[in-house]
Every structure is written in C-alpha cells, then in structure tokens.
Amino acid sequence: QVQLAESGGGLVQAGGSLRLSCAASGRTFGSYAMGWFRQAPGKERELVAGISSGGRTYYADSVKGRFTISRDNAKNTVSLQMNSLKPEDTAVYYCAASWVASVTTIPTGYDYWGQGTQVTVSS
C-alpha cells in the first residue's frame, strides 16, 4: 500500500510560479512511475507530467517548457515546478503512482492517488 500526500498548491497571479510536492510512503517508491494529473471543473482528469522509475519524463503539450517534474527516490518525493502559470492551469492537481515502471497517460493506469491540491491562477 502506498499513501501519497500533495502540498504546495495555492493562489498565484498569471506569470507566477508554484512548486507542488508529493510525499509517498512505502519502501518501493523507486519502482513506481509517478504522474501529476489535473482536473478542472467540468473537464476530464489529464496527465500533465509523468516520470518513469528510470527517470524518463513526459509532458503534456500544454505545459511543455513551463513545468518540470522531478523525483527524489531517497526522500520518496516527486515534485512539479510550475512556471509561467496561466489561468487555464487552474485545477485540482493530483499525484499518482503506478506499478508499471513506464509513464502512462491514462488515469486508470495508476494504482494510488493523493487527495489533490488546488491551484488557482488569476488573470
């Protein structure tokens, strides 16, 4: 069983930055692919960034060049640095872990989820 806890959300003006962190329990954190999803009201949950157990990264086109995902297996954490934020980035952001070592964009491919953290970008 893996428990995930996100932190770092909040309210920021357009053009600003936020850093989300996800702390994971469990001794096999390094074996999981990790993803950051987001879900805005009335929209489907989408993967914005993922990182495989080997460190390979994936980014949605909408965040490429602005967001950076990283992981620290020694500390059981995965982070999402978000720069140049836009109002359309407003959503609840979720951290997720997958038993599959590679990144998948499909939410059902993830086995564990955090409770989510709200990110609001004002114009």
CA distance 93 to 2: 18
Beta bridge partners of 50: 35, 58
79: nearest Cα among 27, 3, 2, 4: 4
> For all residues of the chain together, what is the average pLDDT?
96
pLDDT in tens, 39-91: 999 999 999 999 999 999 999 999 999 999 999 999 999 999 999 999 999 99
The pLDDT value given to residue 101:
86
pLDDT at 102 over 80: yes
Q: Do 49 and 36 contact (CB within 8 A), yes or no?
A: yes
